[in-house]
A and B are shown apart, each in its own frame.
Chain A
Amino acid sequence: AQSVAQPEDQVNVAEGNPLTVKCTYSVSGNPYLFWYVQYPNRGLQFLLKYITGDNLVKGSYGFEAEFNKSQTSFHLKKPSALVSDSALYFCAVSGGSSNTGKLIFGQGTTLQVKP
């Protein structure tokens, strides 16, 4: 069965510092991986995805993520955090050998960027 884990409920960083939000996945076969961001009482916004090719994926708002097949990870990164990046971040996976097109979401990680 497909699954996604976000091991940190909350990540705290200072503005201007690099940030990392962790995600690991379990999929039989090739995974398709996604990151979304959610601001309070809003829907999810798509940030980036990995389907195939270059392991480093660049997305919206200066975010990037690195696909690591051997570690089954897809960590979200940004070189310099902004206070406005504070939000709830979700990692999601689809694909695999039993591909139904459905997304499986992690529990979410709250990112708090302090001035």
Chain B
Amino acid sequence: DGGITQSPKYLFRKEGQNVTLSCEQNLNHDAMYWYRQDPGQGLRLIYYSQIVNDFQKGDIAEGYSVSREKKESFPLTVTSAQKNPTAFYLCASSNRRTGGTYEQYFGPGTRLTVT
């Protein structure tokens, strides 16, 4: 899991509450990413950031928000607008902002359960 930490590992929330997932990296990577993993659906990109104070929507950004105030941190907020938030959330980082030649390194993940 390298130098990327995600906390907490398990998170339980009631429906209608916002929740923030933490992601920190000490790899000095420019780019950071948030993915959602559901059984049988692989990984889907929620948001990504190629540089501090800038981020872009991925394929399934609705109901989520992010910030990138520091290079090492990229927190994800799951809002009450997300219709089906229960999932395994993975954060990743990579060495380059663009080009795509550098592999992404993943954190251990946070399993969010909303009831």
**Chain A interface residues toward B at CB < 8 A:** 9, 32, 34, 36, 41-46, 49, 51, 90, 94-95, 99-103, 105-108
Does B101 belong to the interface (CB within 8 Å)?
A: yes
Q: Within residues 25 to 84 of chain B, which ones have a CB less than 8 A from any CB in chain A?
A: 31, 33, 40-43, 45, 48, 50, 58
Q: B43 and A102: CB pair below 8 A?
A: no
Q: Which listed residue (A44, A51, A100, A102) contacts B101, Cβ 8 A?
A: A51
Residues of B contacting A105 in the complex (Cβ-Cβ under 8 angstroms): 42-43
Residues of B contacting A94 in the complex (Cβ-Cβ under 8 angstroms): 100-101
Q: Which listed residue (B6, B42, B90, B99) contacts A101, Cβ 8 A?
A: B99
Q: Which listed residue (B45, B90, B98) contacts A43, Cβ 8 A?
A: B90
Q: Tell me how many residues of B have a C-beta within 8 Å of chain A.
A: 31
Residues of A contacting B85 in the complex (Cβ-Cβ under 8 angstroms): none
Q: B1 and A43: CB pair below 8 A?
A: yes
Residues of A contacting B104 in the complex (Cβ-Cβ under 8 angstroms): 46, 103
Q: How far is the CB of A94 from chain B (nearest CB, A)?
A: 3
Q: How far is the CB of A65 from chain B (nearest CB, A)?
A: 13
**Chain B interface residues toward A at CB < 8 A:** 1, 4, 6, 31, 33, 40-43, 45, 48, 50, 58, 88, 90, 92, 94, 96-101, 103-109, 111
The list of the 3 closest CB pairs from A to B, nearest first, reads A94-B100, A43-B106, A101-B100
Known: A32-B101, A42-B1. A101 touches B31 (CB 8 A): yes
Q: B101 and A107: CB pair below 8 A?
A: no
Q: B100 and A100: CB pair below 8 A?
A: yes
Q: A99 and B98: CB pair below 8 A?
A: yes
Q: A43 and B100: CB pair below 8 A?
A: no
Known: A32-B101, A101-B97, A105-B42. A44 touches B111 (CB 8 A): no
Q: Which listed residue (B1, B43, B100) contacts A99, Cβ 8 A?
A: B100
The chain A residue with its CB closest to the CB of B56 is A100
Most B C-beta atoms less than 10 A away, residue of A45, A46, A100, A103? A103
The chain B residue with its CB closest to the CB of A95 is B100
Q: Which listed residue (A9, A45, A102, A108) contacts B100, Cβ 8 A?
A: A102
